[in-house]
Structure 1
Amino acid sequence: MPEILLTDWNDIIEKKPHAHILQSGAWGELKSSFGWEAVRVKAGEHSAQILFRKLPLGYTIAYLPKPIPKIFGENTALGDEVDRICLERKAIFLKVEPDTWEEKDDHLSLTGWQIGDPIQPPRTIVVDLRGTEDEILARMKQKTRYNIRLAGRKGVTVRAWDDIDAFNEMIQITGGRDGFGVHTREYYQRAYDLFHPGGSAELLVAEYEGKPLAAVMVFISGNRSWYMYGASNNQERNRMPTYLIQWEAMRWAKEHGAEEYDLWGVPDRDEETLEKHFTGTQRNEGLWGVYRFKRGFGGEVKRAAQALDRVYKPFLYTLYRTATKK
């Protein structure tokens, strides 16, 4: 079947309430604004949104984030269609990150794949939003509950926000302080413009006496929500604004039908190692401090199923892997 239009794709996604936000039409449009091409295909009842990035000499790399079904194996027709599209665009390989957790992964039994490096954070913490707000709070660490309430007592308030310039300034500070990469101001503006009007995202800000202290951009699709982008400056940190804003983001997601809240990224270590450093103070660099913060909200540590590369041009794939190896 030929490629399908964005409007048709949005109709498909609307009928699949469990689709991942990375398979949404808006996500494809976001990535298309920054060097990728989104191609959407359908075979029978199954469908996939694939992202292509151009390489020299007309070659591409293909990326399929969090597909709705397993596209190879039992869904042969869709797998064949994806192969056709990838070969047509001279893809060296197709990277697939399945929308399932590690313990449920059986993709490695398939032939024609290489174990790939993940693009999205492989390990995360997922907070259960079911039950009452008191029940959600009760599942958190005592110190986190205390800090959420302390922020309110210290005059911190949270509201919806649309100041992307200020958000970008704040997230640049956060990335430099905590040692992780951030996007450009244009990227955050495009994400807001694509997702917010339809109610699939909200930007929240925590303030004290009208002064922005922290902000988060939270996304929702069906019964799942994701905290992808967050920022805080170095002012009034004793007022614990980051704790209150995360709680308000969870409340927003719950009010809009989410049953879980994905905190989107912690160090990719086994849970025993993570818990050891959660209670200790010897590791604060990079995502270790982020893990300590996120773990306090309760939830379950999960690891995504293995990222896999479907290789179409083995020699060029080897060159590419060698050139991009960190």
Structure 2
Amino acid sequence: MHFEQTNEWARFQQAVGRRVYAISSSRVTLLNEGRDVEEGEGAAIEKKIFTCLRYWEVNGGMPVPGMGFAHAAQVLLEAGKKAGAVFVRWTPSREFPISNFQFPILKNSEVVEPRVLIRQVPPKATLIVDLAKDEGTLLQEMHEKTRYNIRLAERKGVRANTMSVQEGFDAFWTLMQETARRDRIGLHAQDYYRKMLEILNGDAVRAHLFLAAHDGVSLATALLITCGDTATYLHGGSSNEARNLMAPHLLQWRMMQFAKAQGCRWYDMWGVAPFVRNEQGAMNSAHAWAGITRFKMGFGGEVREGIGTVDIMCRPLLYSFLAFLRRMRF
């Protein structure tokens, strides 16, 4: 099961002030302290637009396990309408086949590619490393430069380890802010990450905080989610200082080793550019994710591309108006 469809993730979302709904083919139920997502149900997270409008987000699978795409889309449409959502943003898991796939088109074409909140669309492609291989093979399948940078960091005395919230959160937050300023990316509120670490602490789903440091100075950080047979690199940041020590490379390798020791089969890099090469076969440097994609692909693995994300319009006129505002803004 995808970690965003677990009860642990639902409780975390509730802790940061969001409503969570359990969806089945026959009912929609608002979760509370005495109600979890049950077998045969999916989870939808309610989010806000302009503080007064709402939309739903369903990530990592079908709204009801085993349901077909067209039926699932219809269930989400009807459930979103009942809850007053403007739209339902649905991202099925990457396990579904994508060859010649087309999203189901409902009556009046309520199913569309995202036209609003584009930056919040989950990544369509990711990089998956098979941790069933021994460490020697994993290293051998990495890019030569990546292996070199890992060994360089080790020789220079960089240390990368998992840390408790009490030990490492301040350094994590400092590095995340530094990365956001440098790369001009958005962040969640500080309390969002802290609650993630505090609440996702069970056997089924757990958030792990990692730090890489040199001579007591923190240089790189990451949040890793373990759920079932998969470890997911969800958030990360690095310092502007001592970049020649290659701390992020060693940090990724230590997280892979950790995930393997925890019994995980797969290491999910959580997002790469879906088209990473140009017509000449070289990296397409114009893509917004070209830099991070180049870094991640150095660790080997296989790019897996899902069917992407769709918006199911529950209030089509209002959705179209929001899309119009976005076009006027940009």
Task: State the TM-score, normalized to the length of structure 1.
Answer: 0.82
- Give per-residue Cα distances to partners, 1:181-217, cap 9 Å, x unaligned: 2222111101111113546121111111222111111
Output the aligned Cα RMSD: 3.0
Q: Which residue of structure 1 lines up, in the alignment, with residue 8 of structure 2? A: 26
Alignment of 1:106-125 (within 5 A): 106=101, 108-111=103-106, 112-116=110-114, 119-125=121-127
Alignment-mate amino acid for residue 222 of structure 1: G
1 or 2, which has the higher helix percentage? 1
State whether structure 2 residue 165 is matched by structure 1 residue 165: no
Among candidates 18, 22, 38, match of residue 40 of structure 1: 22
- Within 2, Cα distance between the matches of 1:62 and 1:226? 23
- Within 1, Cα distance between the matches of 2:306 and 2:185? 20
- Give per-residue Cα distances to partners, 1:217-255, cap 9 Å, x unaligned: 111111112111111112222221111110011111112
- Within 1, Cα distance between the matches of 2:178 and 2:300? 27
- Within 1, Cα distance between the matches of 2:17 and 2:325? 19
- Within 2, Cα distance between the matches of 1:56 and 1:215? 32
Contact 1:178 / 1:286 at 8 angstroms: preserved in 2?
Answer: no
State whether structure 2 residue 311 is matched by structure 1 residue 269: no
State whether structure 2 residue 229 is matched by structure 1 residue 219: no
How far apart are 1:83 and its partner, in Å?
Answer: 4.3
Q: Could you say if the C-alpha distance between residues 285 and 319 of structure 1 is closer, same or farther in structure 2, counting changes exceeding 3 Å?
A: closer
Contact 1:179 / 1:285 at 8 angstroms: preserved in 2?
Answer: no
Q: Could you say if the C-alpha distance between residues 317 and 91 of structure 1 is closer, same or farther in structure 2, counting changes exceeding 3 Å?
A: same
- Within 1, Cα distance between the matches of 2:287 and 2:315? 39
Among candidates 197, 215, 237, match of residue 209 of structure 1: 215
Q: Could you say if the C-alpha distance between residues 186 and 56 of structure 1 is closer, same or farther in structure 2, counting changes exceeding 3 Å?
A: closer
- Within 1, Cα distance between the matches of 2:147 and 2:170? 31
For structure 1, which runs of at least 5 residues remain unmatched after alignment?
1-18
Alignment of 1:274-285 (within 5 A): 276-277=282-283, 283=285
Q: Could you say if the C-alpha distance between residues 274 and 135 of structure 1 is closer, same or farther in structure 2, counting changes exceeding 3 Å?
A: farther
Using the TM superposition, name which of 79-88 and 148-157 deviates more: 79-88
Give the ranges of 4+ consecutive aligned residues of structure 1 lying more than 4 Å apart after TM superposition.
54-59, 68-73, 75-84, 270-275
Q: Which residue of structure 2 lines up, in the alignment, with residue 66 of structure 1? A: 60
- Give per-residue Cα distances to partners, 1:249-297, cap 9 Å, x unaligned: 111111222222111222343544696127xxxx489532212211111
Task: State the TM-score, normalized to the length of structure 2.
Answer: 0.81
- Within 2, Cα distance between the matches of 1:284 and 1:236? 27
- Within 1, Cα distance between the matches of 2:160 and 2:314? 49
Among candidates 174, 178, 185, match of residue 179 of structure 2: 174
Contact 1:23 / 1:68 at 8 angstroms: preserved in 2?
Answer: no
Q: How many positions carry a matched residue from both structures?
A: 304
Contact 1:218 / 1:228 at 8 angstroms: preserved in 2?
Answer: yes
- Within 1, Cα distance between the matches of 2:100 and 2:2? 17
Q: Could you say if the C-alpha distance between residues 172 and 319 of structure 1 is closer, same or farther in structure 2, counting changes exceeding 3 Å?
A: same
- Identity, % of aligned pairs? 27
Q: Which residue of structure 1 lines up, in the alignment, with residue 30 of structure 2? A: none
